[in-house]
Amino acid sequence: MKIPIGGWIGIIGGMIGIAVAVSSVLATAESTGIYITAGILFFIAGFCFLFYKLFFAPMLNANRLRKIGLPGKARILEVRDTGVTINNSPQVKLILEVKNSFGQTYTTHCRVLVSRINPWVYSPGMELPVKIDPKNEKNVVIDIEAASATTSSPSAMLNQFSQPAVNTSALESELAKMQLENDAIRASGKPARAIVKKYTWLGIYVNGNNPFVQLELEVLPEHSSSFSASAKGVIAEASVPKFQPGQEIFVKYDLYDNSKVSIDHS
């Protein structure tokens, strides 16, 4: 991993600052100086270790795997916000279903930085090339070079992988039944806000690249207690970012059966 000149300047400047601070404490604190210095050094060591684990270790791991990792493919199951931002770029956690070179599939995760201009560049259902640690198959990173060679934008890869084979008649029947139930809830149900707790792509696109999904929700009625519920629906491709975990959406629910909730697209 190459560190830019600005990074080296910052590291060297920080080391000089620490040396000056320690020298000043030792020179002015007399007999208690050694204890104060030890405390300062202990604090700095802990901070440096935490910084290394959160930032440098993942970068070194990614750089290593892109050189020696085994190629594989992964489908994104979930995208979660980690709450970490580096240089104004948010970090997200990708829950992945990985398929290795032997055809075996398993679930793992990785963290990746995304552009603050396009934070939803990775979406559930997207399939991406990955590199797998030969010694630990759970340790994977997105193979950026392979992805770039295939397409200039990761989001464009949504159209490059065929969706799994499905029983068309069964799917049409399920969608028709779901539509009738949702129409009934929308007609007589009570509107409410809801927080998305989990977004699950059900492996199917409808009328193009519009994913059929299931949402786990925390419904927030205006004059009663909140409750948990789930809802299925087809989401417009452009609206997928609005239905990610943590987002607030609008729903309608059956007053007599809180398990019946419909996504309110209006």
Residues 247 and 219 occupy one common structural domain:
yes
pTM over 0.75: no
Q: Which token pair is 148? A: 């770039």
Chain segment 77-89, per-residue pLDDT in tens: 988 888 777 767 7
pLDDT in tens, 126-155: 888 889 998 898 999 888 776 655 544 444
Domain end, chosen from 142, 159, 176, is at: 159
**Shared-domain flag, residues 17 and 75:** no
The answer to whether 142 and 127 have CB atoms below 8 angstroms apart is no
Please tell me whether residues 196 and 152 are part of one structural domain: no
Where residue 246 falls (left for φ over 0; alpha for ψ -120 to 50; beta otherwise) is left
Local confidence band at 164 (pLDDT 50, 70, 90 cut-offs):
very low
Can you point out the beta strands (E) in the chain? 70-86, 89-99, 105-113, 127-133, 136-142, 190-206, 210-220, 227-234, 248-254, 257-263
Task: Quote the pLDDT of residue 162.
Answer: 39
Residue 34: the pLDDT is 64
**Structural domain of residue 44, as residue ranges?**
5-66
- Is pLDDT of 217 > 90? yes
Per-residue pLDDT reduced to its tens digit, 98-116: 987 777 889 999 988 877 6
Q: Which of 66, 86, 115 is a domain's end point?
A: 66
**58-77 residue pLDDT tens:** 778 888 888 888 888 899 89
Domain count of the fold of the chain: 3
Name which of 76, 235, 95 is nearest 155 in CA terms: 76
More confident residue, 8 or 216: 216
In angstroms, how far is CA 231 from the centroid of its own chain?
Answer: 21
CA-CA distances (angstroms) from residue 123 to 133, 200, 263, 264? 24, 11, 19, 21
Report the chain's mean pLDDT, rounded to a whole number: 76
Asked if residues 90 and 33 have their Cβ atoms less than 8 Å apart, the reply is no
Statement to judge: residues 133 and 181 lie in one domain: no
The amino acid sitting at 147 is A
Residues 152 and 212 reside in one and the same domain: no
Q: pLDDT tens across 24-46, in order?
A: 655 665 556 566 666 766 777 77
Hey, how many other C-beta atoms are within 10 angstroms of the C-beta on 177? 10
Residue 166: predicted pLDDT: 46
% of the chain with per-residue pLDDT over 70 = 68
Contact predicate 204/212, CB 8 Å:
yes
The C-alpha angle with vertex 210 and arms to 206 and 216, in degrees rounded to 5, equals: 105
Same domain for 123 and 103? yes
Q: Is 144 helix (H, G, I), strand (E, B) or coil?
A: helix
Residue whose structure tokens are 């029983």: 167
Least confident among 82-91, 94-103, 182-191, 245-254: 82-91
224 and 258 share one domain:
yes
Per-residue pLDDT at 232 exceeds 80: yes
Q: Note the pLDDT of residue 32.
A: 62
Q: How many residues does the chain have?
A: 266
Same domain membership, residue 54 and residue 79 = no
In a shared domain, residues 258 and 194: yes
